[in-house]
Structure 1
Amino acid sequence: MQAPQKARWDVFILILRYLKSAPRKGLIYHPNRHMDLVAYSDANWAGSASDRRSTMGYCTFVGGNMVSWGSKKQTTVARSSAEAEYRAMEHTTAELIWLRSLLLQTSLLVSKLMKMFYDNQAVIYIASNPVYHEQIKHIEIDCQFVRDAVIKKLVETPFVSSSGQLADVLTKSLFAPNFCMCCNKLSMGDLYAPA
């Protein structure tokens, strides 16, 4: 607002075009017989051209319905893609543990093992291997938090291919077909369509 730039104006116009084309879009919730907690987490390493900070994003599902999501620029510059991804994984792990405790307080049955899908096999390996820490000392606290959750069998970190990573919609710009595919998998649909 203080110093408008053409690049920001162009982004603003793109956002307005999207909002104008999708006034009826919303989240559609379906009844399910399970209360499994599942998350997708991703990071866009050095995605910001101005300060090279990474953007992390996550979306969490309870019983197959999306209940929380977020996208945030990381506060420090990551020295590697694994570091950026691992910080995103730590943030998502904290969100899953908080959601699980909230559901347990409301007496809803929740399976103990929560799944966090990730598209970076190096980060998954770091989370499950307690010895592999010499190269990642600068993010050791984040690693220990996630590793403890994995060891306690609270969180499982299965691999998901980049084409199936739903958190991509929160961390990077996607081509229209990929964007529409992610929106459909996140249960976004026309709120006024006949049932």
Structure 2
Amino acid sequence: MKSVVQEASSVAKAVDAGWRKANKPAEFRVCVMEEGKSGFLGFNSEPAKIVVYFDDKPKAKEQPRRAQKRRTQAAPVRPAKTTQRPSLRTTSQPSQAAPSKKVEPKVAETPVVRQQRELKPREATKQNDVNEVLWTPDMVEVVREWISQALQAMSGNATKFSIQPSRYYLKVVMEQPLLDDSDRERRLFAGFATLTMQALRRATRKKLRGFKVVLSSKGS
């Protein structure tokens, strides 16, 4: 670390002169020894006095920096060798993968035949489910007795009707209309169906989800 003592009429001029005297260093420190005084008409004036501290070895620091820059610039050249290696590997892969493509269509044909064979028994089971009757004889008998008693209480005469179960539905068809007005008769049959299902649930003690009783008449 070196220092230069400089005097001038002001601190600013002393700093500028001292910096130039020290060969314009990039980094330096200034210590003000005397700020200076100006007298009347220049009499009894005192100059400003400063000290400039600076390092006189800037070149020694620049040399390792330049060496580091050269190393960093030369470093990216090395990956160029590694980038050429994957190209050699990729060229050998297509020759090994080519025979596997020929085998794939043969393997894909076998599951299609199995699926076609399995569909036939499933279709047969669906047809059996459609023809299956879910209403048991005991359930049909409960509905028959309840409707007979309800019609006897309503009209005082026995009314003939037929019952035909079809999966979840139980179709009850009256031999003759109960009312002259068809709209009123439909509302009556809807109420009968609801009450019949309630009586059936109480008798069987089952929820019977999906089961329905449908009433109608031949003349309606």
Higher normalized helix content (fraction of residues): 2
- Give the structure-2-normalised TM-score: 0.21
Q: Which has the higher Rg, Structure 1 or Structure 2? A: 2
- Give the structure-1-normalised TM-score: 0.23
